[in-house]
């Protein structure tokens, strides 16, 4: 089993749907650089869901994406300036939206929310 030294990528973003494809490509490139190609599909989908929540549920779409390369996998996080908590609910499969956090919770090995003085960080981890 390969050892992966801890590494971090950080990018300030404006969470706009037109930028999501570019962010997915950035996530994919960074994970490939770290040798985490197997985690690209899940990480790209989960990051998109977090950015979509910032776009839909916060007063400002400004946020920070961080990716951490950990010994057992990766951790991704999106920090925004809103203290509103994400919720996971059983999705309505006929609705056009509302499945994001459910999909994330089913894809990620673990996830959580850390509140801070200016908002929150929603994070998830994927194991190798």
Cα end-to-end span (Å), the chain: 10
Q: Give mean pLDDT, residues 33-38.
A: 96
The span from the CA of 72 to the CA of 15, in Å, is: 28
Could you list the beta-strand ranges (E) of the chain.
7-14, 62-70, 73-80, 110-116, 119-127
Q: Which run of H or of E encompasses 106?
A: helix 100-107
Mean pLDDT of the chain: 89
Q: What is the pLDDT of residue 101?
A: 82
Q: Could you tell me which residue, 124 or 92, shows the higher pLDDT?
A: 124
> How big is the CA angle at 36 (ends 11 and 126), to the nearest 5 degrees?
80
Q: Give mean pLDDT, residues 45-49.
A: 95
Model confidence over 66-117: pLDDT tens digits? 999 999 999 999 999 999 887 666 655 555 555 678 889 989 999 999 999 9
Q: Give mean pLDDT, residues 9-16.
A: 96
Buried b (16+ CB within 10 A) or exposed e, 62-96: ebebebbbbeebbbbbbbbbeeeebeeeeeeeeee
């Amino acid at each position: 089993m390969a050892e992966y030294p801890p590494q971090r990528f950080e990018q300030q973003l404006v969470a706009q749907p037109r930028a999501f494809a570019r962010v997915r490509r950035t996530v994919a490139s960074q994970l490939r650089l770290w040798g985490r190609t197997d985690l690209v599909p899940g990480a790209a989908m989960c990051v998109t869901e977090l950015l979509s929540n910032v776009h839909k549920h916060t007063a400002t779409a400004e946020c920070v994406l961080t990716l951490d390369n950990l010994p057992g996998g990766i951790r991704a996080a999106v920090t925004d300036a809103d203290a509103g908590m994400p919720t996971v609910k059983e999705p309505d499969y006929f609705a056009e939206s509302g499945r994001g956090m459910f999909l994330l919770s089913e894809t990620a090995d673990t996830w959580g929310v850390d509140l801070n003085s200016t908002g929150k960080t929603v994070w998830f981890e994927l194991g190798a």
